[in-house]
A and B are shown apart, each in its own frame.
Chain A
């Protein structure tokens, strides 16, 4: 570690200004909370300056990266001269300090419009929101990205090659917008408890919660796509702790969004929503702690090392957990909630059940992700495998799909008679039965899986019907929720097919030798060298059962700078299935023509490899008399008589050396019995020695190149992506609808 001298002044000043303005804004809002209305402009202005200071700090860091100012430790550690400018900029969020910075930057910017959307509770909402910002800001000041080295290195250490991908440019910043948005419902909920007025917060927080849920969903989709398309992790989801750290807030956010919907329409779930809003934010902090503190370093493919901020992160978590626990513990009981009067077969009951299931799923993932922490107390830390998540979440998904399939045609009070309900969902039921039959003939025989396929298809159709009906009646935004549920149904079908019915085989291919795996025949043809931008890749012929040939080019190369092994899968996509060929390891083998050389005088012997070689003498009569030919200027041929003994057998060979006066020489190799070749490479006339060249002997006969691959047949992966796109589109429509509702509400209020 090089000595660190000081802090980069422009950036550091900006950060400290941010601290000062945040404290000033907090002070202003405290005055406002006490009823001093004149403090409002001051507090707002201070908040805006806080955001501006962070924008400046981020700008300084970005500028330092763009100028490749390696005096800054952060720039030195995560970037380099050879990086294209987009990756040089993306190095901003490559390290922990930079990711805290971008998280905080988004948080500060979100607060600017937020402070005008808080209604009467601006002071407590912004106060709590500022506390959340300050917590991260303190970590950032302590672990500043503006730390300077005491010298200016000529080049940086470069960006981890795994991160040199276009997804890296957009995926992390979007993820952090989602994280930053999680603080908004938290601030609304806690402020509502603080002032003991919980009537309005749900309406105000709803669009923010929905936006955060959508943005985070988008980011998770991108992460999955990245992992699938380029990283070659074998799938779009691996239940890795870092993946889970973003999934948990998202699942809890799903529960919150539905809970808020229930509260807005039925006045129920008032207490639960306050808890959920707290959980979403706390899960963001917890996920940050899990992935940034190094506690899971042995368990994640995204290994993060301990930066020494574990203590800070624990403190941050503890402060907000204590705040939430205190407010919820002391004031939740006084929150009035509508009594449960809905009959079982009503929208209200179904929504309660599905929201609860989603919450439980969030807790299940939290439990699994925390397994290395939980087991640490008893034993050596251990982690649960992906089967845990798959098995435990399956019944929940089954229940949710059942609820989804009926919910479009249930009314709030459940006055629809079951017979009429059945008539309404009949098309869906028929579709479900057809899908079930198709799945059965395709080889799905597990009763639970069949049920799942049937229910998910029913849910798809009923929600689609309702979406169309709603859109016709009230415009696109009216049916957003139903469209989202169509997407979820598609997504569920895709997840089941691609995860439970994928067929994976690990094969090691010897160059040129066809290997049968499943119904595919694979032949590793050759390894192609780097060509310009195109990295080293293997050419693998994949012959499918119908005889069609697909030339797969999975990439496998060693990064020049770091010697890290990098792989990119080759994927053949069709609507029904993806064929996924991911390289695992490449062994270039050893070429067979490894050369050995002996120089022997007449009668001399030597050993090479497993051979015992004796040079008997020259033969000048092999192709006419050599001396006569030399005199006449013709091409001369001299042979060497060599006894080659391998084990018990001895073979006499006579390799030849031909040369002409013009200077051309040739020395054709002779195949040796038992393998290898021998040539007479030259003659030293004055010493009377012969130079014997050997190729491909014994242990040096060479190894063929080998390539080991993970070959996976993944059915319906395309439905996973499609489902998420549709769900996100639906969510976006719902958001538009909610914002409009809020505007209408505001207009009525005025």
Chain B
């Protein structure tokens, strides 16, 4: 092959790679969405809210934690299920970010991961990841 052709192959590969990188970027992005959008979304999303007081319930047999989040702007609530024990200081959390997807059959948001932000005297606030 001539030098010119090699260059063309290189450019084609590079363009292909850039396309691949951006496509992956889009699919692996977990967008922050509103509670309403979370109910409609089919993909993994993240929602943020405050814990609704006294909404926490631990299901012993299913080993699942159920609770509800309250959205700051709209005041709407979203029921959330998380498989695992209740994180420490859960009730003190300033805000909770749940990453997961809407489970229409259970009418609940199934969280794979929780980011629990607690007040801390270090660096303002402390974020802990669960899941």
State A726–B48 Cα separation when bound (angstroms).
44
Complex: chain A residue closest to B33, CB-CB = A380
A160 located at the interface, meaning its Cβ lies under 8 Å from any Cβ of chain B in the complex: yes
Contact, CB under 8 Å: B31 / A375:
yes
Q: How far is the CB of B67 from chain A (nearest CB, A)?
A: 15
Contact, CB under 8 Å: A585 / B84:
yes
B30 located at the interface, meaning its Cβ lies under 8 Å from any Cβ of chain A in the complex: yes
Residues of B within 8 A of A99 (CB): none
Task: State which of A8-16, A218-226, A300-308, A739-747 sits at the interface with chain B.
Answer: A300-308
Contact, CB under 8 Å: B28 / A388:
yes
Contact, CB under 8 Å: A585 / B86:
yes
Q: How far is the CB of B3 from chain A (nearest CB, A)?
A: 8
Contact, CB under 8 Å: A344 / B6:
yes
A34 located at the interface, meaning its Cβ lies under 8 Å from any Cβ of chain B in the complex: no
Known contacts: A380-B32, A383-B30, A558-B88. The answer to whether A304 contacts B131 by CB under 8 A is no
Q: Mark B20-33, 1 if CB is under 8 A from A, else 0.
A: 11001100111111
Residues of B within 8 A of A297 (CB): 124-125, 127
Contact, CB under 8 Å: A708 / B29:
no
Contact, CB under 8 Å: A508 / B63:
yes
Known contacts: A344-B6, A508-B63. The answer to whether A565 contacts B24 by CB under 8 A is no
A562 located at the interface, meaning its Cβ lies under 8 Å from any Cβ of chain B in the complex: yes
Task: State which of A243-251, A363-371, A408-416 sits at the interface with chain B.
Answer: A363-371
Q: Mark B76-109, 1 if CB is under 8 A from A, else 0.
A: 0000000111111100000001000000000000
Known contacts: A298-B127, A303-B123. The answer to whether A379 contacts B32 by CB under 8 A is yes
Contact, CB under 8 Å: B85 / A384:
no
A525-582, CB < 8 A from B? 558, 562-565
A395 located at the interface, meaning its Cβ lies under 8 Å from any Cβ of chain B in the complex: yes
Contact, CB under 8 Å: A391 / B89:
no
Residues of B within 8 A of A506 (CB): 83-84, 131
Which of B25, B85, B125 is in CB contact (< 8 Å) with A708?
A: B85
Contact, CB under 8 Å: A379 / B31:
yes
Residues of A within 8 A of B88 (CB): 558, 565, 585
Interface size grouping (class) on chain B: 35 or more
Residues of A within 8 A of B89 (CB): 563, 565
State A385–B63 Cα separation when bound (angstroms).
26
Residues of A within 8 A of B117 (CB): 298
Contact, CB under 8 Å: A584 / B85:
yes
Contact, CB under 8 Å: B85 / A564:
no
Q: How far is the CB of B35 from chain A (nearest CB, A)?
A: 13
Contact, CB under 8 Å: A367 / B21:
yes
Which of A384, A564, A585 is in CB contact (< 8 Å) with B126?
A: A564
Which of A303, A562, A586 is in CB contact (< 8 Å) with B121?
A: A562
State A304–B128 Cα separation when bound (angstroms).
13
Q: How far is the CB of A233 from chain B (nearest CB, A)?
A: 8
Contact, CB under 8 Å: A305 / B124:
yes
Known contacts: A298-B97, A360-B17, A371-B25. The answer to whether A584 contacts B84 by CB under 8 A is yes
A587 located at the interface, meaning its Cβ lies under 8 Å from any Cβ of chain B in the complex: yes
A117 located at the interface, meaning its Cβ lies under 8 Å from any Cβ of chain B in the complex: no
Which of A381, A391, A565 is in CB contact (< 8 Å) with B128?
A: A565
Residues of A within 8 A of B131 (CB): 506
Contact, CB under 8 Å: A392 / B21:
yes
Known contacts: A298-B97, A382-B46, A506-B131. The answer to whether A157 contacts B28 by CB under 8 A is no
Residues of A within 8 A of B21 (CB): 364, 367, 392
Complex: chain B residue closest to A306, CB-CB = B124
Residues of B within 8 A of A648 (CB): none
With an 8 Å Cβ cutoff, the count of chain A residues facing the other chain is 42
Complex: chain A residue closest to B113, CB-CB = A385
Contact, CB under 8 Å: B20 / A392:
yes
Residues of B within 8 A of A375 (CB): 29, 31
State A371–B28 Cα separation when bound (angstroms).
11
Known contacts: A298-B97, A562-B121. The answer to whether A585 contacts B85 by CB under 8 A is yes
Contact, CB under 8 Å: A706 / B123:
no
The secondary-structure label for the interface of chain B is mixed
Which of A305, A364, A585 is in CB contact (< 8 Å) with B123?
A: A305
Residues of B within 8 A of A391 (CB): 24, 28
State A368–B6 Cα separation when bound (angstroms).
30
Complex: chain A residue closest to B99, CB-CB = A385
Contact, CB under 8 Å: A708 / B84:
yes
A609-632, CB < 8 A from B? none
Known contacts: A303-B123, A382-B46, A508-B63. The answer to whether A388 contacts B24 by CB under 8 A is yes
State A364–B18 Cα separation when bound (angstroms).
9
Q: How far is the CB of B12 from chain A (nearest CB, A)?
A: 14
State A405–B19 Cα separation when bound (angstroms).
27
A387 located at the interface, meaning its Cβ lies under 8 Å from any Cβ of chain B in the complex: yes
Contact, CB under 8 Å: B31 / A382:
yes
Q: How far is the CB of B86 from chain A (nearest CB, A)?
A: 7
Complex: chain A residue closest to B31, CB-CB = A382
State A303–B126 Cα separation when bound (angstroms).
7
B55 located at the interface, meaning its Cβ lies under 8 Å from any Cβ of chain A in the complex: no
Residues of A within 8 A of B24 (CB): 387-388, 391-392
State A119–B47 Cα separation when bound (angstroms).
57
State A391–B23 Cα separation when bound (angstroms).
11
State A391–B84 Cα separation when bound (angstroms).
28
State A504–B25 Cα separation when bound (angstroms).
25
Which of A157, A383, A558 is in CB contact (< 8 Å) with B29?
A: A383
Residues of B within 8 A of A562 (CB): 120-122
Residues of B within 8 A of A304 (CB): 123
Residues of B within 8 A of A381 (CB): 32
Q: How far is the CB of A156 from chain B (nearest CB, A)?
A: 11
State A470–B122 Cα separation when bound (angstroms).
53
Complex: chain B residue closest to A163, CB-CB = B122
State A300–B128 Cα separation when bound (angstroms).
9
Q: How far is the CB of B5 from chain A (nearest CB, A)?
A: 10
Which of A157, A305, A387, A584 is in CB contact (< 8 Å) with B130?
A: A584
Which of B6, B97, B125, B129 is in CB contact (< 8 Å) with A301?
A: B129
Q: Mark A712-740, 1 if CB is under 8 A from B, else 0.
A: 00000000000000000000000000000
Which of B3, B25, B32, B127 is in CB contact (< 8 Å) with A368?
A: B25
Residues of A within 8 A of B87 (CB): 585
Complex: chain A residue closest to B85, CB-CB = A585
State A506–B112 Cα separation when bound (angstroms).
11
Complex: chain B residue closest to A563, CB-CB = B89
State A382–B25 Cα separation when bound (angstroms).
11
State A298–B124 Cα separation when bound (angstroms).
12
Residues of A within 8 A of B29 (CB): 371, 375, 382-384, 388
**Chain B interface (Cβ < 8 Å from any Cβ of A):** 1, 3, 6, 17, 20-21, 24-25, 28-33, 46, 63, 83-89, 97, 115, 117, 120-131
**Chain A interface (Cβ < 8 Å from any Cβ of B):** 157, 160, 297-298, 300-301, 303-305, 340, 344, 360, 364, 367-368, 371, 375, 379-385, 387-388, 391-392, 395, 506, 508, 558, 562-565, 584-587, 706, 708
6 further A-B contacts with Cβ under 8 Å, apart from A383-B30, A388-B29, are A297-B125, A344-B6, A384-B25, A384-B28, A508-B84, A585-B130
Q: What are 8 A-B contacts with C-beta separation under 8 Å?
A: A360-B17, A382-B46, A385-B28, A387-B24, A388-B25, A508-B85, A562-B120, A563-B89
**Ordered nearest first, which 10 A-B pairs have the shortest CB separation?**
A380-B32, A305-B124, A585-B85, A388-B28, A565-B88, A382-B31, A708-B85, A160-B122, A384-B28, A303-B127
